[in-house]
Structure 1
Amino acid sequence: MSASLKLLLATFFLLLNCDSLMGDDQHQEISLWPEGAVPDEPDNIEQRKKPTTVDSVGKMRIAYVDRPTLTVYKAPKQKANGTGVIICPGGGYNILAWTHEGVEIAQWLNSIGVSAFILKYRVPRRDPDQPHALPLQDAQRAIRIVRSNAKEWNVDPKRIGLLGFSAGGHLTVMSGSHYEKKTYSRIDERDDFDARPDFLIPIYPAYLGDKVKKDKLSDLVVINKKTPPTFIAITHDDGDRAYYSALLYAALKKNNVVGEIHIYSKGGHGYGLRKSNNPVHTWPDRCRDWLNSMGYLDKKSK
């Protein structure tokens, strides 16, 4: 075989292999709503449009979303256990911390066999009094879409949870509180699926407290015996968020809902998976342990 033919064949097989790898690594982004069917959008929202930014260390912040999407990160076939998690990045309902509270979290979940779906929900705030209202529509629709595509995406429709940070943690709790609420009119057959998450993972959740009665949870936080099992991680030095996270856990306990909370001494807010000298950087290990104890890391039976 001539050297040129060997080179040609080597190049062919390399490209073939690259295409195969790309097929595994490509992350499908799908629209939540049909064209023109995004519910309750104000007419003048485009006037508030701002650009997406990337900082010096590569962290992307999305400042405007009027077409919500899900980005699919399927777990590797050899690791996939059938559990799926919808990720809600934080950002005060004004931006989405896309990289460190979205993409990096999806990659971590994939590493433990969990398929991930990053929710690009609507920002900035449409309603200053209830900034979660339209994102909750997006979250409910996302849960239903994942359930409706469970077979295609190799997830168990009874093992679909939400994981969110800060405002995304609040959206996670809202999704577990109001899954029975009809937040939008039926669009298509996917809306016939249940919007109840099977478990919740709010990480340094924000906005859980009552604005007037500072010693209680907001009335929007509805905890009862049907609330999904919940894992919470927070730090003591994260302002009043630690206090309200503790109240959230107490409400879970009062209603006999399976829950786990980790309150670390130091770490502040917005750290994602960032390594530090503080024990809070181990929260993903504790979360993995909890998921394992709940049976969510066991491979689903065929």
Structure 2
Amino acid sequence: MHRFTLAMVACLLAIPLSFAAEPTMVLDLWPGVAPGEKGDVGPEEDVPAKPGQRPVRRIGKISKPLLSVFKPAKDKDTGAAIVIAPGGGYSILAWDLEGEEVAAWLNSIGVTGIVLKYRVPRRASQPKDAPPIGALQDAQRALSLVRSKADSLGIDPKRVGMLGFSAGGHLTAWTATNPDKRAYDPVDEADKQSCRPDFVVLVYPAYLTDKKKPDQLAEEIRVSKDTPPCFFAHAYDDGVSPENSVRMFLELKKLKVPAELHVYSTGGHGFGLRKEGKPCATWPDRCAEWLATQGITTKK
């Protein structure tokens, strides 16, 4: 019995933490149908894991974008907020690993976590050699909508950032470097608010480099002196090359845009915040320090 109990404990410890907290509120991203949305991908669904994949909730066929808002405890709340873009190759969203679990961590450091359910997969009518425009529309709208609801959400509209993983990291960088080019016609008063994140966190971002010229950034990643401060975390052994993070970091360095880069010796891809005994597991601590250094998590 004693051995059985130890085995059960070991099994439980091997299971990723599940954050059961429900969002404080869920907001429709658009007042009606999202721009260009035809609803032709079928009903939203949970996509089962393939053999060997991490236990992750994968949501696919998203036609109705939403924002799930997770508020920190009042005594911890700093007033800062971060829109979270889960990854998934623009095919699915890793909803718990790179969404809800991240919101729970942000809450622990006093930040409102807002998980963006953006449209996936790429629509058949969209060019295969370009990132899907619907995702950018949803991200830009999310930042404007959050700022428009700053009072009701109890956040500072001047401390609204964005955090993305993998394809969500690309979406975050794409959004951060194109605030002057809104990808849709304004639909209401919320769109009078800026769609530029005040700061960004990119965790193993994908697709940032040009496919044909990997020593250059992709065409849509338009780094400038007005790009917001950036934090990067990547693993050296990631199949999605850390050159994605390094290349953007170097371009920011040239322009004297504040940035911090961490490339960990091991970790692979898709580690999220789950503790797996690898060096990459410390990135949340480094990120929390960076947020504090930037004055983002200082109570105003």
Q: TM tier, shorter chain?
A: 0.7 to 0.9
TM alignment of 1:280-295, pairs within 5 A: 280-295=280-295
1:107 aligns with 2:107: no
> What is the rounded CA distance, in whole Å, between the counterparts of 1:192 and 1:50 in structure 2?
30
Aligned counterpart, 1:6: none
1:222 aligns with 2:219: no
Q: CA deviation at 1:211?
A: 1.6
Greater Rg over alpha carbons, structure: 1
Q: CA deviation at 1:34?
A: 1.6
Aligned counterpart, 1:73: 70
Aligned counterpart, 2:185: 185
CA contact (8 A) 1:70 1:117 kept: yes
Deviates more, 1:244-253 or 1:126-135: 126-135
Aligned counterpart, 2:257: 257
CA contact (8 A) 1:85 1:162 kept: yes
Aligned counterpart, 2:7: none
CA contact (8 A) 2:41 2:61 kept: no
TM alignment of 1:102-141, pairs within 5 A: 102-126=99-123, 127=126, 128-141=128-141
Q: 1:81 to 1:190 in 2, by over 3 A?
A: same
CA contact (8 A) 1:235 1:267 kept: yes
- Give the partner amino acid of 1:51: E
Could you say which structure has the higher helix fraction? 1
Secondary structure at the counterpart of residue 227 of structure 2:
coil
CA contact (8 A) 1:132 1:171 kept: no
CA contact (8 A) 1:93 1:125 kept: yes
Deviates more, 1:83-92 or 1:270-279: 270-279
Aligned counterpart, 2:30: 33
Q: Percent identity?
A: 47
> What is the rounded CA distance, in whole Å, between the counterparts of 2:252 and 2:278 in structure 1?
27
- Give the partner amino acid of 1:263: V
Deviates more, 1:55-64 or 1:266-275: 55-64
- Give the partner amino acid of 2:236: H
- Give the partner amino acid of 1:115: T
TM alignment of 1:1-302, pairs within 5 A: 26-36=23-33, 38-41=34-37, 43=38, 45-49=39-43, 51-53=45-47, 59-126=56-123, 127=126, 128-239=128-239, 241-300=241-300
1:78-98 Cα shifts (integer Å, max 9, x gaps) = 100010000000000000000
- Give the partner amino acid of 2:45: P
1:196-249 Cα shifts (integer Å, max 9, x gaps) = 100010100000111211222112111111000000000111135201211111
- Give the partner amino acid of 1:200: V
1:105-149 Cα shifts (integer Å, max 9, x gaps) = 000000000001000000001222223311110001000111011
CA contact (8 A) 1:202 1:231 kept: yes
Q: 1:26 to 1:250 in 2, by over 3 A?
A: closer
1:39-93 Cα shifts (integer Å, max 9, x gaps) = 012x4x5245562146598631101111101001112111000100000000000
CA contact (8 A) 1:28 1:71 kept: yes
Q: CA deviation at 1:274?
A: 1.2
In structure 2, runs of 5+ residues without a counterpart are 1-20
Q: 1:160 to 1:50 in 2, by over 3 A?
A: closer
CA contact (8 A) 1:266 1:278 kept: yes
- Give the partner amino acid of 1:210: D
- Give the partner amino acid of 1:93: Y
> What is the rounded CA distance, in whole Å, between the counterparts of 1:228 and 1:76 in structure 2?
27
State the TM-score, normalized to the length of structure 1.
0.87
> What is the rounded CA distance, in whole Å, between the counterparts of 2:242 and 2:263 in structure 1?
7
CA contact (8 A) 1:122 1:138 kept: yes
